[in-house]
Amino acid sequence: MTNTQPLVRQLLTALKARGARAVFGIPGDYALPMFRQLEGNGLVPLFTLSHEPALGFAADAAARLSGGLGVAAVTYGAGALNLVNSVAGAYAERSPLVVMSAAPALSERGGLFGLHHQSRSLDSQLKIFSEVTCAQAVIDNPETAPREIARALGACTTQSLPVYLEIPMDMCAQPTAPVPVFETRPADPDAAAACAAEIAAIVRNARNPVLMIGIEVKRFGLEWEVSRLADLVNIPVVSSFLGRGVASAGPARIAGTYLGVAGSPELSAMVESSDALILLGVVLSDTDFGVPANRLDLRKAIHAAGGQVRIGHHIYPELPLADLVAALARHAPAKGEGLAGAPAIQAAAPRLFVANDGVMHPSDVSAGITAFFARHGTMPVATDVGDSLFISLETDCGDLVAQSYYASMGFGVPAALGMQAVSGKRPLVLVGDGAFQMTGWELGNCQRYGWDPIVVVLNNQGWEMLRTFEPWARFNDLSDWRFADIAAPLGGIGHRVNNRREFAGALETAHAQPGRFHLIEVMLPRGTTSLTLARFVDAFRKRRATVIAA
């Protein structure tokens, strides 16, 4: 074999070539040979965090922001299985996350004794991860390792889904040939042309065609092409919930985010009355479709996602989004010769923020941040779930990373750390007190890496989003953990704010004092939610009532 290198180094070279900009990891004894090569490897920097769920979220967010691969390196068993929920969220939301799990040495297997960290059997972990990844490989032979790694990384990039690599500890330093590029079969150009021609004809003959941009447009790096196409055709454009912010920098104007009955009535009416609704890269989910009041007839829709295109009752299989967009571009009209555009949807006027002694309302958080961004420029935003997710919908921000479909709490803070690790840009985090209790402590790792996020903790002493469904339940009550007081011991600066003036002041102080994280604890009355969450819960409650009554 020519040009051999230790296996982990060949893997790192391949990961970097596919856009990985960081490895997030927590070692273990099985993982020591792997981490020996990860540390100071000079290709992709290693960042260690405190708990595997957080490093999974950080790696996922790093991929979402950078457009490359996210990488999580863990030990076998107790480490890797701690990662499953984060990988499941990456799968649900099409994030290309690579799990590098160490494993017991090949020479240790087959004995009568169970090996530490083993659960049911030594291959249980592989079976578990096969449910939340699109490809798996146990790297147990230096001869086949390059092809096996190429196959898994090829699936990760072409499907934008997580993959699982299991690397026994006695394989890490094995001399291995370089990882080749995994050749995927190109789409059938005739199928792409036929599909594009069919869509172009539908759009030309439609009364009110609408384009909805979904998350896959970003995952496959098609934001500019899709925005340019929409602009040339002059078709109204909206975002799905998960696709919010995608293609916002392109020439086409995005009318807003579709949230069904929970969103702008005017925008929802435009989408739901469309006789040619084109869903590009949209994940069909209840949250992504914002609690539809069953007013969407998907039989009239054109849905391009997951590597295929469905038009009414027929499907073009194996037609990736990039091939379809390229074929549609060949049908695009010249600038100015597109359709007679639909009337512009008036975006809801942003809530006015007055920095006075008024008690904070959740929607003052979005208004205050929007005003802050207007003064100082936007920042990448990471949000957790709970009301913080809906407040982010009200905030006029730039890059937004949010788990709006899988919706796992604990995502926000680690996601921000992953975003800063790969971009070097200071992020802002929106997180509820319940979610902060899960992974907020990862902020203690900022001082090792010079990260300095601005963290806005919505302290309403409870799981407020659930309280809106169960107002009388006590199980949604949390106590006041006084998070701002905990910031300093973790290396940050804490602000506990009780009114709008203090909130504006804390944001300004955080802006003026970079270099450390600032934790801004916003005290909110129990029982209050953002205006957007209130509409969402009301719609969900009505829908669930009809489902239960049916």
Q: CA-CA distance, 391 to 530, in Å (whole number)?
A: 6
Nearer to ligand S1T, 279 or 385 (CB): 385
Q: How far is the CB of 478 from ligand S1T (least distance, A)?
A: 7
Single out the residue of 384, 391, 203, 205 nearest to residue 280, CA to CA: 203
By CB under 6 A, is residue 531 in contact with ligand S1T?
A: no
Q: How far is the CB of 255 from ligand S1T (least distance, A)?
A: 27
Size of the site for ligand S1T (CB under 6 A): 20
Nearer to ligand S1T, 29 or 477 (CB): 477
Q: CA-CA distance, 511 to 311, in Å (whole number)?
A: 49
Q: How far is the CB of 481 from ligand S1T (least distance, A)?
A: 11
By CB under 6 A, is residue 517 in contact with ligand S1T?
A: no
Q: How far is the CB of 524 from ligand S1T (least distance, A)?
A: 8
Q: How far is the CB of 50 from ligand S1T (least distance, A)?
A: 17
By CB under 6 A, is residue 409 in contact with ligand S1T?
A: yes
By CB under 6 A, is residue 267 in contact with ligand S1T?
A: no
Q: How far apart, in Å, are the Cα atoms of 209 and each of 251, 258, 283, 315? A: 18, 15, 19, 20
- 257, 240 in Cβ contact below 8 A? yes
User: Both tokens of residue 112?
Assistant: 């009568």
Q: CA-CA distance, 370 to 530, in Å (whole number)?
A: 15
By CB under 6 A, is residue 33 in contact with ligand S1T?
A: no
Q: Which of the ranges 39-47, 61-69, 275-283, 406-414 carries the binding residues for ligand S1T, by CB under 6 A?
A: 406-414
Nearer to ligand S1T, 498 or 528 (CB): 528
Nearer to ligand S1T, 245 or 432 (CB): 432
Angle of CA points 417, 86, 380, to nearest 5°: 30
Nearer to ligand S1T, 255 or 429 (CB): 429
By CB under 6 A, is residue 432 in contact with ligand S1T?
A: yes
DSSP state of 382: E
Q: CA-CA distance, 261 to 492, in Å (whole number)?
A: 41
- 524, 460 in Cβ contact below 8 A? yes
- Single out the residue of 148, 225, 433, 521 in contact with ligand S1T (rule: CB under 6 A): 433
Q: CA-CA distance, 384 to 96, in Å (whole number)?
A: 20
Strands (E), 281-346: 302-305, 308-311, 314-316
By CB under 6 A, is residue 385 in contact with ligand S1T?
A: yes
Q: In what order do the strands lie in the sheet with 70-74?
A: 46-48, 23-26, 70-74, 97-103, 163-168, 135-138
Side chain identity at residue 217, one-letter code? V
Nearer to ligand S1T, 128 or 407 (CB): 407
By CB under 6 A, is residue 132 in contact with ligand S1T?
A: no
Residue 547 makes CB contacts below 8 A (sequence gap 6+) with none
- Single out the residue of 464, 521, 535, 539 in contact with ligand S1T (rule: CB under 6 A): 464
Q: How far is the CB of 418 from ligand S1T (least distance, A)?
A: 18
By CB under 6 A, is residue 206 in contact with ligand S1T?
A: no
Q: How far is the CB of 13 from ligand S1T (least distance, A)?
A: 35
Q: How far is the CB of 124 from ligand S1T (least distance, A)?
A: 23
- Single out the residue of 77, 290, 386, 440 in contact with ligand S1T (rule: CB under 6 A): 386
| Helix (H) or strand (E) segment spanning residue 328 | helix 321-329
- Partnered with residue 240 across adjacent β-strands are none
Single out the residue of 4, 304, 14 nearest to residue 156, CA to CA: 14
Q: Which of the ranges 186-194, 330-338, 348-356, 455-463 carries the binding residues for ligand S1T, by CB under 6 A?
A: 455-463
Side chain identity at residue 239, one-letter code? S
Q: How far is the CB of 173 from ligand S1T (least distance, A)?
A: 37
3-state secondary structure of 291: coil
- Single out the residue of 236, 410, 440, 492 in contact with ligand S1T (rule: CB under 6 A): 410
User: Both tokens of residue 70?
Assistant: 């996210």
| Helix (H) or strand (E) segment spanning residue 509 | helix 500-512
Q: Which of the ranges 1-9, 61-69, 367-375, 458-466 carries the binding residues for ligand S1T, by CB under 6 A?
A: 458-466
- 279, 261 in Cβ contact below 8 A? no
By CB under 6 A, is residue 8 in contact with ligand S1T?
A: no
Cβ–Cβ contacts within 10 Å for residue 305, how many?
A: 19
- Single out the residue of 257, 287, 404, 408 in contact with ligand S1T (rule: CB under 6 A): 408
By CB under 6 A, is residue 387 in contact with ligand S1T?
A: yes
Q: Which of the ranges 131-139, 416-424, 433-441, 479-487 carries the binding residues for ligand S1T, by CB under 6 A?
A: 433-441
Q: CA-CA distance, 456 to 21, in Å (whole number)?
A: 27
- Single out the residue of 90, 152, 172, 458 in contact with ligand S1T (rule: CB under 6 A): 458
- Single out the residue of 434, 440, 492, 494 in contact with ligand S1T (rule: CB under 6 A): 434
- Single out the residue of 435, 456, 484, 490 in contact with ligand S1T (rule: CB under 6 A): 435
Residues lying near ligand S1T in the complex (CB under 6 A) are found at 384-388, 407-410, 432-435, 458, 460, 462-466
